[in-house]
Amino acid sequence: MVADTPAGLVGYCVVEYTFFEQGFVTMLMVAESARGYGIGASLLKAAAVSCRTAKLFTSTNVSNHPVQRLLRRAGWRAVRMVHGLEAT
């Protein structure tokens, strides 16, 4: 999915079905200049609506506070944490 404005593309979201055959948002990107306008939330909602499976997952680093906040606001919940993936 893409987010398009008169100024051009400002974001995109990729959903794959390789995570235990369930939907998985593998990429969600919004241009820095377009952040804070609900584009990420709209892309997540579109991903959920178009998902072909009963469940839709995603993953992000604990240090990625903007995405953590976006997911919380969108009603997503954490189900598991994997430690040791981020460089220290």
The whole-model pTM stands at 0.86
| pLDDT, one tens digit for every residue, the chain (88 residues) | 999 999 899 999 999 999 999 999 999 999 999 999 999 999 999 999 999 999 999 999 888 999 999 999 999 988 877 667 676 5
Predicted local distance difference test score (pLDDT) of residue 7: 87
* 3-state DSSP assignment of residue 51: coil
Every domain of the chain and the residues it spans:
2-73
Interacting residues of 78 by C-beta distance below 8 A, sequence separation 6+:
none
pLDDT at 79: 82
Decide: 78 and 68 in contact? Cβ < 8 Å: no
User: Going edge to edge, which strands form the sheet with 22-30?
Assistant: 2-5, 8-19, 22-30, 56-58
Per CATH, which fold does 2-73 belong to?
Answer: Aminopeptidase (3.40.630)
